[in-house]
Amino acid sequence: MDPMNTGAHEQIDPSEFDSIDAILSDLEVEDQNDGEIIEEIEDLGEPELTATTEEAVEETTPVAAGDEVLDDDALGELEASITRAEIYEEQQSDAAVEVEAAEASIAAAVPPARAARAPSTPKTPRPTRDLNSLPPEAFILTADVPEDLEANKKEVLAKRPLQKKVAEKFDNLILSLAADREPSTFIMSCYSVLDAKGEVTSSDLVAALRTMSSNRGTTYNEGTARSQVGQIMALFDVTKIATRAGKVLKLNPDSLYGQALKLLLDGGKGYAEEDEEEAA
């Protein structure tokens, strides 16, 4: 349908088209100018903020959640909490050091494990301390052997001295000889003098003991020597090693205890061997 020939609109004059073209031309020019204006605005960049503007921005910047502003009291409590935490850590550290030091002390105090001991050489059994446990043969005093050994044992035990020191030497003599061991040094020393002379006085025995040295390396004094000699003279008499007459002792050649002491003095060398050497 031709718009120019419609019945519903008025007919447009062709001269008006020229006016429309002129209007459109003007609009295109204005659009170009608008582009230049936009480019100029872009070249200008962002506007600079003055100091006043920056302060205003800072003042108006909202505080983020959780960034609370603390007053002086709150700051003091925070510093105190931090100080307490540091002190606690130091105490914990000190305690750990003390525990380590204590463990080291205990470890140092614990003795090292001992090496297994090598098997020791069996020692000679000690003589029993009970005279009653000895066999009756241990109480035969002389070469004249009694028929009833049990009765003889009871008789010898009944003669055990009452004086304590002499009784101790009595037990020591019988128990030692039963175990083939030397009795006390005082007994051996006094018997050696008696065996050499055959007959001695108390003064002879005292002089012999005075020349002996004690365990401390000193010689025995007069009192100690006389006390020991008195005990030995009583012992030798009751065990029939010697016969006593006052302050004189005479060796009993039939004394089995005397012969046993002689063997110990000579290192096991008996009378029979001595006789053979003299005969040779």
**Cross-strand pairs, 219:** 213
DSSP string across 84-98? HHHHHHHHHHHHHHH
pLDDT tens for 44-76 read: 555 555 544 455 445 544 545 545 555 666 667
Does this model's pTM top 0.85? My answer is no
Percent of the chain with pLDDT over 70: 53
pLDDT tens for 10-27 read: 555 555 556 666 665 555
**Tokens 């002491």 belong to which residue?**
261
pLDDT tens for 77-91 read: 777 777 777 776 766
- Residue 91: burial class (beta carbons within 10 Å; 0-12, 13-18, 19+): exposed
Interatomic CA distance for residues 236 and 208, integer angstroms: 17
Query: Angle at CA 102, nearest 5°, toward 98 and 105?
Result: 140
Q: For residue 230, what are its two tokens?
A: 């008195």
* Contact status, residue 233 vs residue 205, Cβ threshold 8 Å: yes
**Coil, strand, or helix at residue 143?**
coil
Mean pLDDT of 225-246: 96
User: 258: Cβ–Cβ under 8 A, 6 or more apart, which residues?
Assistant: 191, 195, 241, 242, 251, 252
